Chains A and B, each alone.
Chain A
Amino acid sequence: MTLIRIILKRLLSMSITLIGVAVIVFFIIRIVPGNPIAMMLPPGAGEEDIARLKALYGFDKTLPEQFLIWVRGILGGDFGTSITSRQPVMSLVLGRLPATLELSIMALVMAVMIGGALALIGTRQRGGKAEALIDVTNGVSLSVPDFLWGLLFILLFGVLWPVFHISGRVSPALDLPFVTNFYLFESLLRLRFDIWLDLVSHMFMPALALAIPLAAIIAQLLKQSLKETMHLDYVTLARTKGYSENHVILREALPNAILPTLTLVGVQFTFLIGGTVIIERLFSYEGLGNMAIDAVINRDLPLIQGIVILFAVIFTTVNLLVDLTYALLNPRLRHG
Chain B
Amino acid sequence: MSFLELKNLNARVGPLPILRDVSLQVAPGEVRALVGESGAGKSMIGKAILGTLPDAIRITGGEILLEGEDLQAMSPKDRRRMIGAKVALIPQDPLTALNPARRVGPQICNRLVDILGWRRREAEARVIELLHEVHIPAPERVMRAYPHELSGGMRQRILIASAFAAEPQLIIADEPTTALDVTVQKQILRLIRDMQARHGTALLFVTHDLGVVSKLCQSMTVLFGGKVLEDTSVDQFFSAPDHAYSAALLAATPKYTDPGGSLMPVPEATIHAVEAEIAAHDLAHQTETVRQ
Contact = CB atoms under 8 A, between A and B. Distances in A.
Interface of A: 126-127, 232-234, 236-244, 247, 252, 255-256, 329, 331-332, 335
18 contacts: A233-B93, A233-B97, A234-B97, A234-B100, A236-B91, A237-B97, A237-B159, A239-B51, A239-B52, A241-B111, A243-B84, A243-B114, A255-B101, A256-B100, A256-B101, A331-B101, A332-B100, A335-B146
A237 B163 CA distance: 10
A231 to B, nearest CB: 8
Contacts of A237: 89, 91, 97, 159
B178 interface: no
A242 B80 contact: yes
B47 to A, nearest CB: 8
Contact of A242 (B52, B83, B100, B102): B83
B96 interface: yes
B148 interface: yes
Interface residues of B, number: 30
Nearest to B98: A234
Nearest to B79: A242
A256 B146 CA distance: 13
Nearest to B100: A256
A291 to B, nearest CB: 43
Nearest to B110: A241
A240 B52 contact: yes
B148 A331 contact: yes
A118 B111 CA distance: 28
B99 interface: yes
A84 to B, nearest CB: 53
B131 interface: no
B99 A256 contact: yes
B89 A240 contact: yes
B120 interface: no
In the complex, the 10 A-B pairs of residues with the closest C-beta atoms, listed nearest first: A242-B84, A242-B115, A241-B111, A233-B96, A233-B97, A255-B101, A234-B99, A240-B50, A331-B146, A240-B89
A232 B93 CA distance: 11
A241 B123 CA distance: 15
Interface in B66-122: 77, 80-81, 83-85, 87-89, 91-93, 96-102, 111, 114-115
Nearest to A239: B52
Contacts of B288: none
B181 interface: no
A127 B114 contact: no
A234 B111 contact: no
Contacts of B268: none
A98 to B, nearest CB: 36
Contact of A244 (B77, B85, B159): B77
Contacts of A331: 100-101, 146, 148
Nearest to A245: B76
A255 B99 CA distance: 10
Contacts of A244: 77, 80
Contacts of B55: 126-127
Contacts of B80: 239, 242-244
Contacts of B81: 242
Given A233-B97, A239-B50, 16 more contacts: A126-B55, A236-B91, A237-B159, A239-B52, A240-B87, A241-B111, A242-B81, A243-B115, A247-B114, A252-B99, A255-B102, A256-B100, A331-B101, A331-B148, A332-B146, A335-B149
Contacts of B159: 237
A332 B146 CA distance: 9
Contacts of A332: 100, 146, 148
A146 B114 CA distance: 44
